Amino acid sequence: MKILAILYNGFKAAEEEPRLLGTVENKLGLEDWLKSQGHELIVSSDKEGPDSVFQKNIVDAEVLITTPFHPGYLTRELFDKAKNLKICITAGVGSDHIDLNAAVDHKIQVLEVSGSNVVSVAEHVVMSILLLVRNFIPAHEMIERGDWQVSDIARNAFDLENKVIGTIGAGRIGYRVLQRLVPFDPKELIYYDYAPLPAAAAEAVKARRVEDLKEFVSQCDVVTVNCPLHEGTRGLVNDELLSHFKKGAWLVNTARGAICDKDAVARALASGQLAGYSGDVWDVQPAPKDHVWRKAKNPLGGGNGMVPHYSGTTLDAQARYANGVRSILENYLSGKPQEPQNIIIGLGKYETKAYGQR
Ligand code: NAI
């Protein structure tokens, strides 16, 4: 059996740190096991264009392993060419880099390691909210420059206490963000999701559901995006929606870059409609050098907390999603049923309600 894995390069770091399992070098820890079973494992980061390792090997691979951190974009056109493909496994959470509707049509299963990095991301979200609200990055940059002017930082630094914080998407990550924010004594926690939280869960964090998105954002001092990318969320945060935000709100997006219109966000930052934008996800990954989010700033020259896509690939998370990929593969090879929570696309149908209302 041919297994193709598209992962990110680890280079020197991966040689020095074997726990960087999600890299080309360390191959999710699968190499010895799969080879001992007589399977062929091809691992590469080369994913763009018809001559890439990805596109050349997808034509006869039976299993495709991809990672959201360095997404191999499996388009409908590539599905048409992938004659042997039976199962796509996402090493992590978030399978929007795969054309899921095409997977349904081609009866190819798509599985994720659900839950594997949700705490990792929730912690990053809370950190990102704090670094924006407290104006941390310009303060640190000032220190490195050798300067010291407290008023230049303090003029745009606030407390999180007594703010209204809202999450778009209150699933595994969104809910964990709400849980972690409770001790900061926010004025209110609110959420926008077509699936209401179970009453006990909502009560535990005292979260109120707002059913209209414009009304929801207009009440928030901080908005955090925690829903999957699908037809219903692509470009959801655009000029129109941003005009309904409170002036000077902070926006954190660790879900997927394409949920926010990149130019609209940059414009909102430049005008001060947003005081800050932070996240680790980009509409194309790796992000081009001239991506507008790399240097977008608010009128005071701060408000940018962007980093490369790593919130869900801490070493703790890598151990969990590498184990998860192995157990999905073991189930596949032995014909055992898969864990239901990991199945995004079953044979010819969506098995999750999280990728849009159908
Ligand atoms: P989940 O499936 O537990 O929760 C997703 C929630 O979003 C569900 O409650 C669903 O009803 C809701 N939702 C879907 N469409 C919506 C819409 N149009 N409006 C409002 N809510 C909507 O997923 P989980 O584990 O919380 O992950 C969410 C997303 O976070 C993933 O799909 C992925 O894109 C992203 N992620 C990012 C990572 C990173 O490293 N930055 C790592 C892991 C996940």
Burial class (CB in 10 A: 0-12, 13-18, 19+), 125: buried
In short, whether 231's Cβ falls inside 6 Å of ligand 1 is no
Structure confidence by residue, pLDDT tens digits, 40-70? 999 999 999 999 999 999 999 999 999 999 9
Burial class (CB in 10 A: 0-12, 13-18, 19+), 189: buried
CA distance 352 to 338: 14
**In Å, how far are 8, 53, 105, 191, 251 from 57, measured between CA atoms?**
17, 6, 21, 43, 39
CA distance 145 to 129: 24
| 285: annotated active-site residue | yes
In short, whether 237's Cβ falls inside 6 Å of ligand 1 is no
Q: Identify which of 259, 164, 172 has the alpha carbon closest to the alpha carbon of residue 218.
A: 164
Judge contact between 207 and 196, C-beta under 8 A: no
Q: How many A from CA of 227 to the centre of ligand 1?
A: 3
CA dihedral 310, 312, 313, 314 (to 10 degrees): 100
| Ligand 1 atom nearest residue 256's Cα | 34
| 256: annotated active-site residue | yes
Tokens of 24: 């080309």
| 117: annotated active-site residue | yes
CA distance 92 to 114: 7
In short, whether 254's Cβ falls inside 6 Å of ligand 1 is yes
In short, whether 257's Cβ falls inside 6 Å of ligand 1 is no
| Ligand 1 atom nearest residue 312's Cα | 40
CA distance 278 to 40: 40
Q: How many A from CA of 254 to the centre of ligand 1?
A: 10
**Residue 271 has what pLDDT?**
98
Structure confidence by residue, pLDDT tens digits, 306-343? 999 999 999 999 999 999 999 999 999 999 999 999 99
In short, whether 169's Cβ falls inside 6 Å of ligand 1 is yes
ipTM: 0.99
Q: Which of 70, 97, 124, 256 is catalytic?
A: 256
pLDDT at 18 over 90: yes
Structure confidence by residue, pLDDT tens digits, 113-132? 999 999 999 999 999 999 99
Ligand 1 pocket test, candidate residues 226, 229, 260, 306, most atoms within 8 A of CB: 226
Q: Residue whose CA is closest, atom 29 of ligand 1?
A: 228
Q: Which of 55, 135, 226, 285 is catalytic?
A: 285
Judge contact between 224 and 165, C-beta under 8 A: yes
Structure confidence by residue, pLDDT tens digits, 63-114? 999 999 999 999 999 999 999 999 999 999 999 999 999 999 999 999 999 9
206: left (phi over 0), alpha (psi -120 to 50) or beta: left
CA distance 79 to 107: 10
Q: Which of 55, 117, 156, 342 is catalytic?
A: 117
In short, whether 210's Cβ falls inside 6 Å of ligand 1 is no
Q: How many A from CA of 329 to the centre of ligand 1?
A: 24
| 144-165: average pLDDT | 98
Place of tokens 């890439």: 52
- Across 58-182, the runs of DSSP E, i.e. the strands, are 63-66, 87-90, 109-112, 164-168
Q: What is the overall mean pLDDT for the chain?
A: 98
| 262-272: average pLDDT | 98
pTM of the model: 0.98
**Residue 77 has what pLDDT?**
98
CA distance 326 to 315: 17
In short, whether 166's Cβ falls inside 6 Å of ligand 1 is no
Structure confidence by residue, pLDDT tens digits, 217-264? 999 999 999 999 999 999 999 999 999 999 999 999 999 999 999 999
Q: Residue whose CA is closest, atom 35 of ligand 1?
A: 255
pLDDT at 163 over 90: yes
pLDDT at 358 over 90: no
**Residue 258 has what pLDDT?**
98
**Residue 3 has what pLDDT?**
98
Binding-site positions for substrate read 93, 117
Q: Identify which of 275, 334, 326, 285 has the alpha carbon closest to the alpha carbon of residue 309.
A: 285
CA distance 100 to 348: 10
Judge contact between 160 and 186, C-beta under 8 A: yes
Ligand 1 pocket test, candidate residues 8, 93, 95, most atoms within 8 A of CB: 93
